[in-house]
Chains A and B, each alone.
Chain A
Amino acid sequence: MPEAKLSLCGVTKSFGDQQVLRGIDLEVAEGEMICLIGASGSGKSTLLRCINQLEPIDDGSVWLDGQDISEPGQDLAKVRRRIGIVFQSFNLFPHMTALENVLLAPRRVLAEPAGALRSRAEVLFERFALGQHMAKYPDQLSGGQQQRVAVIRALAMRPEMMLFDEITSALDPELVGEVLDVLRQLRTEGMTMILATHEMGFARELADRVCFMDGGLIVEAAPPAEIFTEPKVARTREFLRSVLRG
């Protein structure tokens, strides 16, 4: 039984006859921050969706705190609430205010008094500088604000770890910074995180380890100082050369 916070053992996943993940092994320690980099279609998003069991995996296993969460037949709602995920396209519920978005799942799922949930949500809004936007609907917020609400919504379930699927890719460039600040803040609080990202500068600054994915495999995994300065694998080198030049 693996001892890491999260471990993936030989995870494979196909859509139809297209194999998207071809045997992923990864161990993530408590409080560690992993950045997944790689071209579009390399399997980063699918990997994240296989971790929180949004997509059932074909083979292999996913372990969270020593429990095999990919074992068929368990209550997936219970598993998913332990792993927060934030998507590229925010996916806020448009018919609810920011606060209602954040409170819906805790109210339905967590057995805690409504007052406690609400005050905890308000603390989160304040912490991410959105206190005056709680009563607004998603379409009244900027992209960056919406994405921060999405992060708060995931955090309100008190997840044990967080997954971020290219959460700045749909944002206007000037709004990327405020969302990355949220991640920095979570990093200092010791949250275990896996990020699929195209923000190489950010990965270099904050990640404990950077995993380069290509063709459904983790081709190279190393601390940012190593992988960005002297990548060992030719394909990593090629990829980094093309993105860092741009």
Chain B
Amino acid sequence: MNRRQAYEVGQRRRALAIAGLSTAAVLLAIILLVPLAPGWTQVRASFFDGGIFIETFPTLLRAFLVDIAIFAWSVPLIFGLGLAIALARGARAPALFPLRIFGALYVDVFRGVPVVLVIYLVGFGVPGLGLPRPWNSPYIWGTVALVLTYSAYIAEVLRSGIESIHASQRAAAICLGLSERDTMRYVILPQAIRRVVPANMNMLVALQKDVALLSFIGPVEILRQAGIYKSLLANFTPYVVAAVIFLIVTVPATRYADYLMNRDRNARS
């Protein structure tokens, strides 16, 4: 080991030691100081009750499957509609002008309104029309509300992807005699979609969490089930359980999205 390497090893050791010490200090402060707060015993009893945690965990996990199911059938619909809106917004033919206007309006409206409001309006409003079963199901209209909102976001992501493909690619394709349609389908879209995968991953993580908002209109998914337990047991621990279950899914998903994003950035630089 030469002098420079020895110096760098020393520097690294020092940095590690400082990081370890400061982390330990912060943790110690939390552990020592939080219990000194006047309401700590009540908070611990109502949010961190180990017995209730273990008791409610299996049912809440089962309820979480409902969230996953809603998520799973929403995603293809969201991407289908999002792609249609993105293409409508890029339509150049004069006959398609109304479609273009519609696309722009759609995106403005559904990106501009909070998800929870769309869920309320669609989820309570449409079944209020007195539709027969099963067409008054909150599962259907809750899904519709999520699809409406998220397809507006996905449409914008896809459109930015389409616009990021250099004009020379389009030129090369139409110079070969390909139609505009084939150029979009075989040359532009495959590249655009690949380019926005990381951004879409982030949208999916957000969607996974927002599925819980459907609890406001009826489906007994994890958040609603936790609410039921809260009333039943007069304890907030089930909410903590729900949060933990969400984290188990969303943390790896977010990390994966970040990984894709970084890899993409490195590949392009």
Contact = CB atoms under 8 A, between A and B. Distances in A.
A84 B186 CA distance: 19
B178 A108 contact: yes
B249 interface: no
A15 to B, nearest CB: 14
Contacts of B174: 54, 76-77, 80
A81 B169 contact: no
- For B172, B178, B179, B194, the residue with the greatest tally of chain A CB atoms inside 10 Å of its CB is B172
A233 interface: no
A81 B177 contact: yes
Contacts of A95: 190-191, 194
Contacts of A245: none
Interface of A: 52, 54, 76-78, 80-81, 84-85, 87, 89, 91-95, 104-105, 108-109, 153-154, 157
Nearest to A108: B182
- For A54, A95, A153, the residue with the greatest tally of chain B CB atoms inside 10 Å of its CB is A95
A162 B126 CA distance: 61
A151 B265 CA distance: 31
B168 interface: yes
Nearest to A79: B177
Contacts, number: 56
A77 B178 CA distance: 6
A77 B177 contact: yes
A92 B166 CA distance: 12
5 nearest A-B pairs in the assembled complex, by CB-CB distance: A81-B177, A105-B176, A91-B172, A91-B168, A85-B175
22 contacts: A54-B171, A54-B174, A54-B175, A77-B177, A77-B179, A78-B177, A81-B177, A85-B175, A87-B171, A92-B172, A93-B169, A93-B173, A93-B187, A93-B191, A94-B191, A104-B176, A105-B176, A105-B178, A108-B178, A109-B176, A109-B177, A154-B175
Contacts of A87: 168, 171-172
B45 to A, nearest CB: 58
Contacts of A81: 176-177
Contacts of A154: 175-176
Contacts of A91: 168-169, 171-172
Interface of B: 168-169, 171-179, 182, 186-187, 190-191, 194
A97 B139 CA distance: 44
B191 A105 contact: no
Contacts of B175: 52, 54, 80, 84-85, 154
A2 to B, nearest CB: 23
A154 B169 CA distance: 14
A104 B172 contact: no
Contact of B178 (A84, A92, A94, A104): A104
Contacts of B194: 95
B177 to A, nearest CB: 3
A153 B176 contact: yes
Contacts of B176: 80-81, 104-105, 109, 153-154, 157
- For B178, B179, B190, the residue with the greatest tally of chain A CB atoms inside 10 Å of its CB is B178
B185 to A, nearest CB: 9
Contact of A80 (B169, B177, B190): B177
B168 A89 contact: yes
B163 to A, nearest CB: 17
A77 B177 CA distance: 4
A220 to B, nearest CB: 29
- For B168, B169, B175, B194, the residue with the greatest tally of chain A CB atoms inside 10 Å of its CB is B175
Contacts of B177: 77-78, 80-81, 105, 109, 157
